Amino acid sequence: MGHSSLEKIIALQRNPENIRNLCILAHVDHGKTTLADCLVASNGIISSRLAGKLRYLDSREDEQLRGITMKSSAISLHFTQGEKEYLVNLIDSPGHVDFSSEVSTAVRLCDGAIVVVDAVEGVCPQTQVVLRQAWLENIRPVLVINKIDRLIIELKLTSQEAYAHLQKILEQVNAVTGTLFTSKVLEERAEKDSEEKESDLSGDQVYDWSAGLEEADDSNLYFSPDQGNVVFASAIDGWGFSIQQFAQIYSQRMGIRAEVLLKTLWGDFYLNAKAKKIMKGAQAKGKKPLFVQLVLDNIWSLYDAVVTRRDKEKVEKVVTSLGVKVMARDTRHSDPKVLLSAICSQWLPVSQAVLSMVCEKLPSPLDMAAERVEKLMSVGARRFDSLPEETQELKKAFLQCSSQENAPVIIFVSKMFAVDTKALPQYRQRPLTQEEIAQRRELARQRHADRMAADQSAADLANIKMSLFLWMESLTVKEPKPEEDEQQKETFIAFARVYSGVVKRGQRVFVLGPKYDPAQGLSMLPEGCTATDSVPEVPHLSCCTMGNLYLLMGRELEELEEVPCGNVLGIGGLEEYVLKSATLSTSPACPPFTPLNFEATPIVRVAIEPKHPSEMPKLVRGMRLLNQADPCAEVLIQETGEHVLVTAGEVHLQRCLDDLRDRFAKIEISASKPIIPFRETVIRPPKVDMVNEEMGKQQKVAIIHQVKEESSQARTSDTLQVDPSGLVTLTTPNRLATVSIRAIPLPEEVTRLLDGSLELIRTLEQVNMSLREGRSLDISTRTLEAIEGLKAKLEGLLQGRKWRNAVDRIWAFGPRRYGPNLLLNNVDSYQRPSVWQCLFKGNKPSKPAPQAALRDFDNSIISGFQLATLSGPMCEEPLMGVCFSVERWDIQASTPLQQQDSVEEDSISHESSEDSRAEGGSEMDEQGEGPAAGPNQAKRRPEAGPADCYGPVSGQLIAATKEACRQAFQAQPQRLMAAMYTCDIMATAEVLGRVYGVLGKREGRVLHEEMKEGTDMFIIKAVLPVAESFGFADEIRKRTSGLASPQLVFSHWEVISSDPYWVPTTEEEYLHFGEKADSANQALKIHERRPPP
Ligand SMILES: Nc1nc2c(ncn2[C@@H]2O[C@H](COP(=O)(O)OP(=O)(O)OP(=O)(O)O)[C@@H](O)[C@H]2O)c(=O)[nH]1
Ligand SMILES: [Mg+2]
């Protein structure tokens, strides 16, 4: 980048009022990167001829090859509008579902977003997701309806039809916004907005009487061309416009006031030529709407002349009337599109339309809403006003966005990305200055002359070439190369934004971990403490030094000395301190920002090995780097020593493997077939048998008996009893404690509710934890209401005799204390504090005197349950939808109690699950460590508890409870649950049959099918087992010659109806399934396909 433009950008960085931080969001392939190209070209960074073809921000090779974006990347542009100069920090994001975590990291750093929608495809699943993400982060969107050329060339719509079509798309987008708006969170937000508005109105603002009050309240929520927040474009042909531009043009030409045109250019208005008036009711009177007549018709006739009819004369006329200049070579070019974009990009340059909309409609960093700040600062269930005073003070710093020397520095790092060390500006070859070139040229000439004189065979061609090469070489300065050390090949840069203060290279800041508590930090640190080396130790707080600071320019980075508030930047030197994201501040009062909300669920797991076993250390290092460089990938080492990579989907997996191979490990690796995740569950005895015939009552009883008998025969021993009703009683080896547990399938809706409320249950657990420790946590009323709501819903769903009082008797959720399984306390004589105790604030129910003897071992039971639900007896996968009811529980009174022991036990087991979550984040990642946790704890403190030869009682009880749960589980009919994807496939009528074929072959189920209005496309919504999904997208694409392309999104877990342990018993069944019954048993098929655990 040129010197002058770098200086300009540095100057613009100091004026936050004119900074716009924004990202481009859309469904996959709707044209984000192409649009970004046009904007980049407007700054002369790439040539405008290449705009749209280069996809400059897709800098990775695989991005170019596949034609999709995989990483979000940023570029700073400047834009001049009238007197004002703006700095636009633009982030292009990927649209493919597998990379939606990249979208989350982009959205967090922005104040606004350009939402792009394909004019043919309209609102697609990811469009809805990104609109939601924008809403959740409180950033303001503007809309670009892209690919309008497709309406003309592909769909061959008339301008009038296209108008109707565009209206529909706007309706669709606004419908999504509408649903978001009406959801509860947004209602509250709107309330605040309108309050602010009212206070604004009392000032000297002009109020527009023509708009009703109701409209005024939410008008800025919706997209409408007359609001100035919609641009119509064809990024590939380089044009785009907002109706403001046409209002300007026609107000001069027709003498109508621009304001009037602005209000009427979009909508049901028409021009009455005789009366020279704009009238309402175009549709009713069958007139051409103004938008068609004055806007679309122009574009349609241009395409008609240039592309369809290639009418030279007409083109010439148009060119003169538009007053644009076209080069002769463009006119003669065999591809009419070249001429078209040459004309359009001068007539209606898309960059002008989009950038001026962005600068006008999107907020600057100074306009950050107070509510957004509070949301960023109050983690989890905590209320903003319960934070320490110094912390609340920092809200001002956010709002002021001050770059004064004394302003506290606050930075959020949303991801770490790796760049080739050689590409860093400090190592880049820089072009020479004029004098240097002259000097070197002289030197080279002399050297050449010397050589010529010395060597008579100077005519030797090779020699000339050589000296030429030397001469060329001498024209660039080589800075000292970085160490050619393997370790140094990749450098991590933090993708960040400054929210307050000025960041300087070499500055010391605090790194605030996600669990850092400012109250604790402030109490432990001396007043006025800065991030120097001698800071006392505080949990989740460390210090670091800012490395190099960079301006992000797409593929390139430019070094900066300091970056003022309100800007997006890259920071080097943090890889030791920041894994994926972090909050940095000079003030220990600053809270960690709320975690990013990721939409993608990592679900595809593979085990990875180096081709040559000796290269294991390289693989381990490579996987560590990959883990840091990807917001969503997870890396774990299983108990078996296997290295497992967890990714969001097939495309993501491919990218991770490529990165590992080519960048981070640089070795050959082999990846296992994807390991399909399962859940294990129990069901009510089935009503039909395997040949789908209704089972008689007798048969059912017989089956149940068979199961029960098998289990009781096989497993009854002197410490274990299984009664015919499925109640399992187990005694610890020292015979001091006994538990009786029964497994009951949870109703499906309950499982779904629990699975959907994981975050809330986790919060509930945290609250209970602090209550147990005697601390009270100030939880926000919203969280309390949500917990109350969850309880009420559970009560509504758990009806009937079997579930009487069940909700009040919930003892724990599991695994990891927040999973979709329940532990119920059905021991009549045992009272314990309710899991809902945070709801009883004020009117606390009189605490029942618990049986002390039992209560101290309460936690052992919970831990046993956690272990049992973490890995089930079928294939060591987590359980789902199982309720374990503890019906009896005895501890012999003689057992000496170790109160201290059990309390600690709790905090330890709790901590361990918490910690691993903070590192990994997924539901499945900690599988390896779970089962080991129990025994380890017992071992860790051999002196605790009454130490007989069997170890402490608490430990024995954990093991006994776990075993009892497993046995109880096996005493019921067991089933596997498969992970399911939903997919939306868009396909034309001709290929519909083939799509169905592929779906059928892969056990997919079509949920519904509809015709997309205004097109000949069908939208099919289907579910598909994850196990059958590998290669699905490719197969569909191939079978339909690329016409249909599905997006797979993880949706839910589904019970596989067939019994994996079933063997045929009747003759009919033998006939149907053969002796081994492996022909039709889907569950068995999947079960056996898995590698052994
Ligand atoms: N006809 C037409 N095609 C376009 C237009 N804009 C983009 N395309 C094409 O659409 C395809 C996808 O464009 P991209 O810019 O890569 O789309 P994207 O939204 O960045 O895609 P992802 O980053 O993978 O989500 C490319 O083949 C473009 O040439 C347009 O205005 N008209
Ligand atoms: Mg892209």
pLDDT in tens, 472-522: 545 544 444 444 454 567 889 999 999 999 999 999 999 998 888 888 888
Q: Are 742 and 885 in contact (CB under 8 A)?
A: yes
pLDDT grade for 208, boundaries at 50, 70 and 90: very low
Q: How far apart, in Å, are the Cα atoms of 24 and each of 37, 139, 525, 679, 703?
A: 12, 12, 42, 37, 59
* Selection from 651, 574, 630, 653 nearest residue 920 by Cα: 630
Q: Helix or strand or coil: residue 252? A: helix
The ligand whose atoms approach the alpha carbon of 66 most closely is 1
| Domain assignment present for 759 | yes
Which has more confidence, 201 or 225? 225
The ligand whose atoms approach the alpha carbon of 126 most closely is 1
Nearest ligand 1 atom to alpha carbon 52: 29
* Ligand 2 centroid – CA 635 distance (Å): 26
Kindly report the protein residue whose alpha carbon is nearest to atom 30 of ligand 1.
147
Domain CATH for 510: 2.40.30.10
Write down the pLDDT at residue 91. 96
Say whether both 631 and 508 belong to one domain. Answer: no
Residue 670, pLDDT above cutoff 70: yes
Say whether both 704 and 574 belong to one domain. Answer: no
Residue 667 to residue 613: CA distance in whole angstroms: 11
- Return the ∠ at Cα 573 (arms to 569 and 578), rounded to 5°: 85
| Domain assignment present for 204 | no
Q: Are 797 and 780 in contact (CB under 8 A)?
A: no
Kindly report the protein residue whose alpha carbon is nearest to atom 23 of ligand 1.
69
Write down the pLDDT at residue 701. 52
Domain CATH for 870: 3.30.230.10
At which of 585, 612, 644 does a domain end? 585
Nearest ligand 1 atom to alpha carbon 233: 31
Kindly report the protein residue whose alpha carbon is nearest to atom 13 of ligand 1.
31
| Domain assignment present for 901 | no
Which residues form the domain of 611?
Answer: 604-675
Which of 200-204, 712-716, 1076-1080 bottoms out in mean pLDDT, i.e. has the lowest? 200-204
Q: Are 145 and 166 in contact (CB under 8 A)?
A: yes
* Ligand 1 centroid – CA 52 distance (Å): 8
Give the amino acid at 770. Answer: S
pLDDT in tens, 85-112: 999 999 999 999 889 899 999 999 999 9
Kindly state the helix (H) or strand (E) to which residue 1025 belongs, with its residue range: strand 1017-1025
Say whether both 528 and 629 belong to one domain. Answer: no
| Domain assignment present for 768 | yes
* Ligand 1 centroid – CA 225 distance (Å): 23
pLDDT grade for 903, boundaries at 50, 70 and 90: very low
As a dihedral over the C-alpha atoms of residue 906, residue 908, residue 909, residue 911, rounded to 10 degrees, the angle is 110
pLDDT grade for 216, boundaries at 50, 70 and 90: very low
Pocket test for ligand 1, best of 29, 68, 102 (most atoms within 8 A of CB): 29
* Ligand 2 centroid – CA 54 distance (Å): 11
Q: Helix or strand or coil: residue 875? A: coil
Pocket test for ligand 1, best of 27, 28, 30, 34 (most atoms within 8 A of CB): 34
Say whether both 727 and 790 belong to one domain. Answer: yes
Residue 85 to residue 99: CA distance in whole angstroms: 34
- Cα-Cα end-to-end distance for the chain: 54
The ligand whose atoms approach the alpha carbon of 152 most closely is 1
Residues in Cβ contact with 313 at an 8 Å cutoff, skipping those fewer than 6 apart: none
At which of 585, 619, 637 does a domain end? 585
Say whether both 418 and 534 belong to one domain. Answer: yes
Say whether both 329 and 354 belong to one domain. Answer: no
User: How many C-alpha atoms does 610 have within 13 Å on its Cβ side?
Assistant: 16
CB atoms within 10 A of CB 607: 17
Which has more confidence, 772 or 259? 259
Burial call 358-386: b when 16+ CB within 10 Å, e when fewer: bbebbebbbebbeebbbbbbbbbbbebee
At which of 612, 644, 675 does a domain end? 675
Percentage of the chain with pLDDT > 90? Answer: 27
Residue 935 to residue 956: CA distance in whole angstroms: 9
Nearest ligand 1 atom to alpha carbon 27: 25
Pocket test for ligand 1, best of 151, 236, 241 (most atoms within 8 A of CB): 236
Q: How far apart, in Å, are the Cα atoms of 708 and each of 233, 625, 704, 716, 962?
A: 68, 51, 6, 11, 19
Highest mean pLDDT among 410-424, 478-492, 704-718, 904-918 belongs to 410-424
Domain CATH for 293: 3.90.1430.10
Which has more confidence, 1053 or 385? 1053
H-assigned helices in 1031-1081: 1032-1039, 1067-1073
Nearest ligand 1 atom to alpha carbon 69: 23
Which of 851-865, 1017-1031, 1073-1087 bottoms out in mean pLDDT, i.e. has the lowest? 1073-1087
Residue 1010 to residue 852: CA distance in whole angstroms: 62
Residue 1060, pLDDT above cutoff 50: yes
User: Residues for the chain: how many in total?
Assistant: 1093
Residue 144, pLDDT above cutoff 90: yes
Write down the pLDDT at residue 40. 93
* Ligand 1 centroid – CA 242 distance (Å): 20
Nearest ligand 1 atom to alpha carbon 154: 1
Mean pLDDT on 16-29:
93
Kindly state the helix (H) or strand (E) to which residue 265 belongs, with its residue range: none
* Ligand 2 centroid – CA 439 distance (Å): 45
Say whether both 523 and 632 belong to one domain. Answer: no
The tally of domains found in the chain comes to: 6
| Domain assignment present for 436 | no
The ligand whose atoms approach the alpha carbon of 130 most closely is 1
Mean pLDDT on 186-207:
47
Residues in Cβ contact with 603 at an 8 Å cutoff, skipping those fewer than 6 apart: 646, 648, 649, 677, 979, 1026, 1050
Peptide bond into 973 cis (omega under 30): no
* Ligand 2 centroid – CA 29 distance (Å): 7
Say whether both 144 and 30 belong to one domain. Answer: yes
Write down the pLDDT at residue 488. 60
pLDDT in tens, 832-872: 888 888 877 654 544 554 555 566 788 888 899 999 999 88
| Domain assignment present for 476 | no
Write down the pLDDT at residue 777. 66
Find where tokens 């400054």 sit.
Answer: 498
Q: How far apart, in Å, are the Cα atoms of 645 and each of 607, 620, 633, 957, 1025?
A: 6, 11, 7, 35, 20
Tokens of 833: 């504090």
Say whether both 41 and 13 belong to one domain. Answer: yes
| Domain assignment present for 201 | no
Beta strands 140-146; 112-118: pairing state: parallel
Nearest ligand 1 atom to alpha carbon 68: 24
Q: Which residues line ligand 1 (CB under 6 A)?
A: 26, 28-34, 55, 67-69, 94-96, 146-147, 149-150, 234-236
Q: How far apart, in Å, are the Cα atoms of 1 and each of 598, 768, 790?
A: 34, 56, 56
pLDDT in tens, 940-977: 333 344 445 666 777 888 888 899 999 999 888 888 88
pLDDT in tens, 462-484: 454 455 445 554 554 444 444 44
| Domain assignment present for 141 | yes
> What residue ranges in 723-804 does DSSP mark as E strands?
728-731, 737-745
Residue 23, pLDDT above cutoff 90: yes
Mean pLDDT on 911-938:
37
Say whether both 314 and 179 belong to one domain. Answer: no
* Ligand 2 centroid – CA 590 distance (Å): 35
The ligand whose atoms approach the alpha carbon of 67 most closely is 1
Say whether both 64 and 46 belong to one domain. Answer: yes
Write down the pLDDT at residue 931. 38
The ligand whose atoms approach the alpha carbon of 235 most closely is 1
pLDDT in tens, 614-633: 999 999 999 999 999 998 89
Q: Are 180 and 135 in contact (CB under 8 A)?
A: yes
Kindly report the protein residue whose alpha carbon is nearest to atom 11 of ligand 1.
29
pLDDT in tens, 304-330: 988 888 888 888 888 888 888 887 777
Say whether both 885 and 871 belong to one domain. Answer: yes
Nearest ligand 1 atom to alpha carbon 67: 16
Write down the pLDDT at residue 695. 54
Predicted TM-score (pTM) of the model is: 0.80
* Ligand 2 centroid – CA 95 distance (Å): 7
Residue 757 to residue 146: CA distance in whole angstroms: 37
Write down the pLDDT at residue 131. 92
Q: Are 647 and 604 in contact (CB under 8 A)?
A: yes
* Ligand 2 centroid – CA 365 distance (Å): 25
* Ligand 1 centroid – CA 28 distance (Å): 8
Write down the pLDDT at residue 113. 95
Q: Are 394 and 408 in contact (CB under 8 A)?
A: yes
pLDDT grade for 204, boundaries at 50, 70 and 90: very low
Number of H helices, E strands in the chain: 38, 36
